[in-house]
């Protein structure tokens, strides 16, 4: 049977960096959210293993080597349950190294597909442990729901109240690696996430990686300024370590108009009109 798993884009509506850790990671407090669109993973049993990447951003990835989808498949077999040979196709619709969890979402989709094929419960502790080993964002992407993240981002508390809000994602077609952005963080703890509802946390939070990301890719500032100028945008921020930024709108008509304005003024930028889920 063919298994199809969505790998929706992840947004950090707020991202507070609290400190550096001895293990090389950082202590974070973040508000994860997900949108209705993203990559798509198709998996089916086959006579022999295969892995193909298609889609508009396929050229940015290699199906061999250190690909997170292949790592997720192999880690599942080692730690959770055996799998038959699989033919895997990743439809890569999200830009690579863009702060919206594309690789992590793809890995989480592979874990969900593997669990379905092997008859493993999606909330299995072993599955969650594999997700945490694969990367800091993978547990949130495996959960796929709005949540507060702490620790490296793997300790999650589900929140409600954001589904259906229109959002526009914009990337200037610049890839930004996470490691160098964290390396340029100034080490100042500017305080925890605010309290209140999920929307309150988003509006009154911040992204502590924006300044270091701008040092690497100054165009991020141009993206944020362009989104700030859009009528009806009620929250504008960079996601993750960049370079993707987002604008949340009160209504879909304002988002459509905003997307048209961005595409007209910046035809080389990537835009995605979607909604929070």
Distance CA 183, CA 186 (A): 8
For residues 276 and 199, give the distance between their C-alpha atoms in angstroms, rounded to a whole number: 12
d(CA 175, CA 10): 16
Q: What is the DSSP letter of 161?
A: S
Q: Exposure of 235 by Cβ count < 10 A (0-12 exposed, 13-18 middle, 19+ buried)?
A: middle
Alpha carbon 190 to chain centroid distance? 23
Nearest to 37 by CA among 262, 259, 266, 268: 259
Q: Nearest Cα to 136, choosing from 6, 26, 53, 275?
A: 26
Active-site residue list = 10, 137
Tokens of 253: 């008509």
């Amino acid at each position: 049977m063919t298994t199809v798993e969505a790998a929706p884009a992840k947004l950090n509506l707020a991202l507070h960096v609290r400190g550096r850790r001895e293990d090389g990671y950082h202590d974070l407090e973040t508000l994860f959210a997900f949108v209705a669109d993203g990559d798509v993973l198709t998996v089916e049993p086959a006579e022999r293993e295969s892995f193909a990447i298609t889609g508009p951003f396929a050229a940015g990835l290699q199906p061999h080597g250190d690909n997170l989808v292949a790592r997720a498949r192999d880690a599942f077999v080692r730690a959770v349950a055996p799998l038959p040979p699989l033919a895997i196709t990743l439809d890569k619709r999200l830009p690579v190294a863009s702060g919206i969890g594309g690789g992590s979402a793809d890995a989480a989709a592979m874990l969900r597909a593997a669990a379905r094929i092997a008859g493993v419960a999606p909330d299995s502790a072993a599955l969650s442990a594999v997700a945490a080993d694969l990367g800091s964002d993978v547990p949130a992407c495996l959960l796929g729901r709005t949540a507060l993240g702490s620790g490296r981002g793997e300790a999650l508390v589900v929140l409600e109240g954001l589904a259906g809000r229109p959002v526009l994602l914009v990337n200037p077609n610049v890839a930004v690696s996470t490691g160098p952005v964290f390396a340029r963080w100034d080490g100042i703890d500017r305080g925890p996430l605010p309290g209140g509802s999920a929307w309150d946390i988003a509006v009154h939070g911040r992204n502590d990686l924006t300044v270091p990301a701008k040092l690497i890719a100054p165009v991020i500032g141009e993206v944020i300024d362009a989104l700030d100028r859009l009528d009806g945008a009620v929250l504008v921020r960079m996601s993750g370590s960049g370079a993707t930024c987002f604008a949340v709108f009160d209504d879909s008509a304002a988002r459509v108009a905003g997307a048209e304005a961005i595409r007209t003024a910046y035809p080389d930028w990537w835009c995605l009109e979607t909604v929070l889920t």
